[in-house]
Amino acid sequence: MINGGIDMNFDVKEAADNYAEHVFCQSNTDCDIVKILKKDAHKRIYHDMLINPDEYKPKPQLLFVEPWNGKKPTSPLDFLKNKNVVLPSLPQTLIQIKRVINDPESTVNDLAAVISNDPKLVASLLRLANSDIYKYKYTIDTPSKAVAVMGFKKAGLLALGTVSLSMFKKSQVAVLELEKFWKHSIACGIIAQEIARAANLGDPEHFFVSGLLHDIGLHVIFESEKSLAVELLRVAETKQLSFYDAEAEILGFNHAVLGGVLSEDWELPQTLVRAAAGHHDPEIIKVDLEAAVVHVADYVGRALGYELGLSIIIGDLDRNALKNIGISPDQFEELLPKIKLLIDETFKILNP
């Protein structure tokens, strides 16, 4: 907009460029996929700053949270044993779904019956099954149709992921913005699924659920130890670290390791455990496909703006993860608009 010869958008453009540079300040821009994402982020942030300038203002301090007592847990298990730690209890439905999908004698009707017992799960599952993530020709309007059309394994896994994520509820003192957590999880699931599809990794829906559940450890930290969470946010901001580097500095382990211990404890499938535990670990990413895909999906999701509101710095994209997956920059560039559309459409369906 020109006003008296002055481009009124000039400052916004400069602010958006600075912001985008900051987001990618720890990323190696020699990587072609990082370059594609960075270019995309510059444009997105500029447009978003024009529409939602308040989103980019510094957030007010959380004064109602007690200062952290400085007591470091000795390990993720020690953290989980701490009396302050509130773990979401396993709902009966999750236990039943696990029992049905692990029993080789189970039938399609057994799974549909378990799903039908939980109206919230039925609603979420049907919304997901009818979303653009799955392009079924028919409208899926009952749990038995979902299981019949999607197949036992796919429907079972999706039900497992949906119930697990639904356990995380908004607490009274929200340090973690639940909507951001939810959007990040869904976006990450979609990106993981589409990367797996493009790279022919087999069973893309499996990767969807891995992406969906990868950050459960983060939720546990924020809900159980609010003072610690605020301290982690403070350290990330003052030392200009990504959130998981702040975790490593203060705790000696990060939310990924914690999520791995937790999902192991819940006896979730090993692929999901590995993806949660390894998505920030360079050694695991090198050799484990699930962890590599989720690592890339997590980075791409945050680069596209589906971040958790913890630290705007998104860290780096691990080159070994890309090598492990075998996705080329050209393939990724072609995939990006499809991913963005799919995320937008899925959010519209899941969150009308």
What residues line the site for Fe ion (CB under 5 A)?
Answer: 215
198 or 216: CB nearest Fe ion: 216
Rounded Cα gap, residues 307 and 187, in angstroms: 10
Nearer to Fe ion, 143 or 315 (CB): 315
Output the smallest distance, CB 250 to Fe ion, in A: 16
CB of 159 to Fe ion, least distance (A): 23
Q: What is the Cα Rg of the chain in Å?
A: 21
Question: Whose Cβ is closer to Fe ion: residue 42's or residue 280's?
Answer: 280
In the bound complex, what is the minimum distance in angstroms from residue 198's beta carbon to Fe ion? 22
Q: How far is CA 178 from CA 227, 308, 347, in A?
A: 17, 9, 15
Residue (221 or 230) nearer to Fe ion, CB = 221
Q: Closest distance between Fe ion and the C-beta of residue 295, in Å?
A: 9
Query: Which pair of tokens denotes residue 293?
Result: 């895909």
Instruction: Kindly give the residue spans of alpha helices, DSSP state H, lying in 70-150.
Output: 76-81, 92-102, 108-116, 119-129, 143-150
Phi/psi at 183 (5° precision): -65, -40
In the complex, the smallest distance separating the C-beta of residue 184 from Fe ion, rounded to whole angstroms, is 9
Min CB(242)–Fe ion separation in Å: 10
Residue whose Cβ sits closest to Fe ion = 215
Between 140 and 276, CB nearer to Fe ion: 276
What whole-number distance in Å separates Cα of residue 159 and Cα of residue 266? 15
Comparison of 215 and 231: residue with beta carbon closer to Fe ion: 215
Identity of the residue numbered 227 = S
* Position 351, amino acid: N
Give CA–CA dist 215/201, Å, rounded. 22
Eight-state DSSP code of residue 7:
E
